Amino acid sequence: MEIKVDMGERSYPIVIKNGLIDEIGGCISSLGLEGKAAVVTNSLVGGLYGEKVVEGLMSAGLDPVLIKVPDGEEYKTLKEASVIYDGLIEHRMERSSAIIALGGGVIGDMAGFVAATYLRGVPYVQIPTTLLAQVDSSIGGKTAVNHPKGKNLIGSFYQPKAVFIDPQVLSTLDPVEVRAGLAEVVKYGVIQDGIFFKFLEENRDTLLQPGPELTRAIERSCEIKASIVSADEKESGLRSILNFGHTFGHAIESLTGYGRFKHGEAVSIGMCMASRLSVKIGFASPEAEERIRGLVSSLGLPAEPPDLSADDFIGSMRLDKKVANGRIRFVLVTDLGKVMLKEVDEKTLRGFFGEAEPAAMPPL
Ligand code: NAD
Ligand code: GLY
């Protein structure tokens, strides 16, 4: 299947096909890319698929080099980006030379950032190898590295030339990572497509392994993400609905030190909390909340928040980079497949957490 991300002259295809990694040389040369190329990956994914991709590029007449960084979010840094720049300079990469990001979201974000900045921008291609990267991070051009003070603080919007997705590479992925990616898949059903949500409910038992149902879930997720980022590349409006579950989720990740929950797990809890808030405010029916909670739970994802106070949550959510003028904005469910953006005041939030608002100071 081929899906178009429609951004005028920066439009690009998302190609989804089982076994695509075996045809990758032809895919890259079909984009008109030739000459030198750098495959940026990590030690784990590089060991599994690095040689295959390099050989594919060579057989298509390109001159590739493999650049490996250590595996882990802690290496998504300017320091590690600098190691990649060193490799590009050593390989004498030119402005027309392509960077191929082979890995999960960490590699995709960092290689994309390097592509955006090396020689003021070189073409790059995403070959996402985690479910999260296939349905989310490889599409839409958000590139970044982390700063010690926060995640993704240094980055830019920079679109790839293509996204090549081979669902079969998920057969080597840890099931915990597959589940984490499924949280984002569920998100697409909730925000845009109630029929897709029902498909996920009906196929909940087969979605954890590569197969036709997981491939269909990847395809529909990519269609939804592509249509949203095509309409609003820089997140000035519609793209914010992709943050469903993320306001609570980011607070959970940050308050628990980014180690206890995977991003997708925190988003899963966040989606359940946002659904409960939607019911509390009177936007959604209890049935919608129960179905969201039921689906994530049956996929083995957490639904309940860890033991954190209203003060913890509200304090952390106020620091979120998407907060404007101190007001916390949520994506709330109105029905399965429909959401809306809504600012929620502190009194309502405290009521939601079952706590009274702090008493005003008595007059002196
Ligand atoms: P990840 O890149 O760390 O990958 C998870 C683990 O799976 C790693 O150990 C990786 O080496 C391994 N792995 C990857 N593919 C594999 C495969 N096929 N077989 C075996 N192991 C494999 O994590 P992730 O969840 O893919 O990405 C998280 C990152 O994505 C975060 O840095 C987050 O900020 C970013 N992100 C970006 C966007 C965006 O729009 N740009 C959206 C969401 C998340
Ligand atoms: N992952 C959210 C976005 O791409 O906007």
* Residue nearest (by alpha carbon) to ligand 1 atom 32: 106
Dist. CA 181–CA 174, nearest whole Å = 11
- Ligand 1 atom closest to the CA of 170, numbered from 1: 18
Residue 243 gets the label, from left (phi > 0), alpha (psi -120 to 50) or beta, of alpha
Choose one of 152, 221, 235 to mutate for the ligand 2 pocket test, by most ligand atoms within 8 angstroms of C-beta.
235
**Catalytic hit among 68, 142, 204, 220:** 142
Among residues 119, 142, 171, the one where a domain terminates is 171
Question: Tell me, what's the pLDDT at 359?
Answer: 54
Question: Tell me, what's the pLDDT at 320?
Answer: 73
Q: Is 166 found in the same domain as 93?
A: yes
In a domain, 358, yes or no: no
* Residue nearest (by alpha carbon) to ligand 1 atom 22: 173
In a domain, 12, yes or no: yes
pLDDT tens for residues 111-134? 999 999 999 999 999 999 999 999
Q: How far is the CA of 219 from the centre of ligand 2 (A)?
A: 17
Question: Tell me, what's the pLDDT at 131?
Answer: 98
In a domain, 360, yes or no: no
Choose one of 42, 49, 69, 132 to mutate for the ligand 1 pocket test, by most ligand atoms within 8 angstroms of C-beta.
132
pTM for the full predicted model:
0.95
Q: How far is the CA of 311 from the centre of ligand 1 (A)?
A: 31
Number of Cβ within 10 Å of residue 211's Cβ equals 15
Q: Is 160 found in the same domain as 95?
A: yes
Assess whether the C-beta atom of 228 lies below 6 angstroms from ligand 1.
Answer: no
| Ligand located closest to 109 CA | 1
Q: How far is the CA of 109 from the centre of ligand 1 (A)?
A: 9
Q: Is 199 found in the same domain as 167?
A: no
Dist. CA 38–CA 114, nearest whole Å = 11
Q: Is 249 found in the same domain as 121?
A: no
The C-alpha angle with vertex 160 and arms to 270 and 323, in degrees rounded to 5, equals 35
Q: Is 124 found in the same domain as 38?
A: yes
Q: Is 160 found in the same domain as 201?
A: no
Candidates 258, 312, 267; CA nearest to 137 is 267
Active site residue 152: no
Domain residues for 63?
2-171
Active site residue 225: yes
Question: Tell me, what's the pLDDT at 280?
Answer: 95
Q: Is 158 found in the same domain as 184?
A: no
Candidates 61, 21, 63; CA nearest to 38 is 63
In a domain, 72, yes or no: yes
Dist. CA 283–CA 279, nearest whole Å = 6
Q: Is 149 found in the same domain as 97?
A: yes
Q: Is 139 found in the same domain as 120?
A: yes
Number of domains the chain contains: 2
Among residues 171, 189, 212, the one where a domain terminates is 171
Dist. CA 76–CA 352, nearest whole Å = 36
* Strand ranges for 30-86 from DSSP E: 36-42, 63-69
Question: Tell me, what's the pLDDT at 149?
Answer: 82
In a domain, 138, yes or no: yes
Question: Tell me, what's the pLDDT at 148?
Answer: 87
Give the chain's length: 364
Dist. CA 35–CA 96, nearest whole Å = 8
CATH assignment of the domain containing 144: 3.40.50.1970
Q: Is 125 found in the same domain as 81?
A: yes
In a domain, 361, yes or no: no
Q: Give how far the C-alpha of residue 33 lies from the chain's centroid of Cα atoms, to the nearest Å.
A: 26
Assess whether the C-beta atom of 265 lies below 6 angstroms from ligand 1.
Answer: no
Q: Which residues contact 43 (CB under 8 A, 6 or more apart)?
A: 68, 69, 70, 71
Q: Is 54 found in the same domain as 77?
A: yes
Active site residue 147: no
* Residue nearest (by alpha carbon) to ligand 2 atom 2: 242
**Regions in the chain scoring below 70 on pLDDT:** 321-326, 355-364
Active site residue 235: yes
CB 263 within 8 A of CB 179: no
CATH assignment of the domain containing 335: 1.20.1090.10
* Residue nearest (by alpha carbon) to ligand 1 atom 37: 137
Question: Tell me, what's the pLDDT at 258?
Answer: 85
Residue 92 gets the label, from left (phi > 0), alpha (psi -120 to 50) or beta, of left
Q: Is 164 found in the same domain as 180?
A: no
In a domain, 233, yes or no: yes
CB 128 within 8 A of CB 104: yes
In a domain, 184, yes or no: yes
Among residues 116, 146, 171, the one where a domain terminates is 171
Helix axes 194-202, 212-231, angle to 10 degrees: 160
